């Protein structure tokens, strides 16, 4: 091996080590709180007692005879989903109290559930102020709680999910849980109005948005239904204030960069946010900047080109045939 070759290898290895060293602290920062494995094991064991009944498995092989199985079937928690949720490292009893340890459960146990503010006082205070300005505050205050949108056994932190499509799925499911279900919408709709007021169909309301279904998979309801200047807000705005401007997202200064894509590195944002902005700025997108006259002109042009090509080919074939007949 030549000296140059050896040097090159040494530099590559050194570079790799340096990269590892630099990556080390970054890794440590994202996993800020080291979790004690012994404690996790203890919590896992404690929760397994609840999962013995409150899972599909518990439903199939109940550890106790004579339970209200129909009721239990509505009270299932998926252990795998729970472990990935933001409360996944918590003992069920931290929120549900000791009343649920024995079965049959204590009579007053249901009233003992810890309210969110017991642990998230500052956040709840902030969210409440935004909620008071929200469309839901007018008639649903008191009816709608944090848990109406955030299932404490399921929801994950957006930054941890990472993939924008998965974040969109989680956040839109919160809204569509009511806005796509007549039954659940009616449970919350104001009594005095619920007879007259039917749930507006989400696709119909947004028919002005081309590729509506594609948008539901790519952007969140809150992108358009919260004040644009805010990175994150619980102030849901009505139709007068909702975003209708395509360029808010489909431009190089897309608001998505500081919102949905804020958990991504800039290079990654490019992959999601800009492909469509370039299409919209430089050419015309079917269904977006579509114009019937442009469509007709393009069709006519294509038609003429095809006719021209065919005509040319025919003439050449005929001439060749004549030439072949004339030649001896």
**Cα–Cα nearest to 63, from 76, 74, 75, 51:** 51
Is there binding between residue 252 and ligand HEC (CB under 6 A)?
no
State the sign of the Cα–Cα–Cα–Cα dihedral 203, 206, 211, 216: negative
Q: Which stretch binds ligand HEC (CB under 6 A): 11-19, 37-45, 281-289, 317-325?
A: 281-289
Question: Least Å distance between CB 24 and ligand HEC?
Answer: 21
Site string for ligand HEC, 206-235 (x = CB under 6 A): x--xxx--xxx-xx-xxxxx------x-x-
Q: Which stretch binds ligand HEC (CB under 6 A): 9-17, 21-29, 153-161, 305-313?
A: 153-161
Site string for ligand HEC, 258-277 (x = CB under 6 A): -----------------xx-
Q: Which stretch binds ligand HEC (CB under 6 A): 8-16, 18-26, 192-200, 298-306?
A: 192-200
- Angle at the Cα of 127 from the Cα atoms of 184 and 160, rounded to 5 degrees: 85
Question: Least Å distance between CB 142 and ligand HEC?
Answer: 12
Write out 231-270 in H/E/C secondary structure: CCCCCCCCCCCCCCCHHHCCCCCCHHHHCHHHHCCHHHHH
Q: Which stretch binds ligand HEC (CB under 6 A): 5-13, 188-196, 293-301, 310-318?
A: 188-196
Is there binding between residue 81 and ligand HEC (CB under 6 A)?
no
d(CA 7, CA 19) in angstroms, rounded, equals 18
Is there binding between residue 154 and ligand HEC (CB under 6 A)?
no
How would DSSP label each residue in 178-199?
HHT-HHHHHHHS-HHHHTT-PP
Q: Report helix, strand or coil for 144.
A: strand
Is there binding between residue 242 and ligand HEC (CB under 6 A)?
yes
At residue 141, what are phi and psi to the nearest 5 degrees? -60, 130
Residues that bind ligand HEC (rule: CB under 6 A) add up to a total of 104
């Amino acid at each position: 091996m030549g000296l140059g070759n050896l040097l090159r290898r040494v530099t590559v290895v050194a570079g790799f080590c340096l990269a590892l060293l630099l990556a080390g602290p970054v890794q440590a920062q994202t996993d800020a709180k080291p979790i004690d494995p012994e404690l996790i094991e203890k919590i896992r064991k404690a929760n397994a007692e609840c999962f013995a009944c409150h899972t599909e498995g518990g439903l199939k092989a109940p550890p106790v005879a004579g339970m209200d199985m129909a009721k239990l079937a509505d009270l299932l928690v998926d252990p795998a989903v729970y472990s990935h949720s933001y409360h996944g490292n918590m003992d069920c009893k931290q929120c549900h109290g000791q009343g649920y340890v024995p079965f049959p459960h204590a009579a007053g146990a249901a009233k003992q559930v810890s309210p969110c503010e017991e642990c998230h006082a500052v956040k709840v205070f902030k969210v409440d102020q935004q909620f008071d300005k929200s469309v839901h505050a007018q008639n649903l205050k008191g009816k709608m709680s944090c848990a109406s949108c955030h299932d404490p056994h399921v929801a994950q932190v957006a930054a941890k999910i990472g993939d924008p499509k998965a974040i969109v799925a989680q956040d839109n499911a919160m809204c569509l849980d009511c806005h796509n279900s007549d039954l659940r919408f009616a449970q919350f709709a104001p009594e005095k109005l619920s007879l007259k007021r039917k749930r507006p169909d989400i696709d119909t309301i947004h028919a002005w948005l081309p590729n509506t279904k594609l948008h539901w998979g790519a952007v969140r309801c809150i992108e358009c239904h919260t004040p644009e200047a805010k990175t994150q807000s619980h102030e849901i705005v009505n139709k007068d204030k909702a975003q209708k401007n395509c360029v808010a997202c489909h431009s190089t200064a897309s608001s998505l960069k500081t919102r949905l894509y804020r958990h991504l590195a800039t290079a990654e944002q490019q992959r999601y946010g800009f492909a469509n902005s370039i299409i919209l700025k430089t050419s015309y997108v079917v269904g977006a900047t579509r114009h019937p006259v442009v469509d007709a002109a393009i069709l006519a042009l294509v038609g003429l080109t095809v006719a021209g090509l065919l005509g040319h080919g025919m003439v050449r074939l005929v001439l060749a045939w004549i030439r072949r007949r004339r030649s001896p």
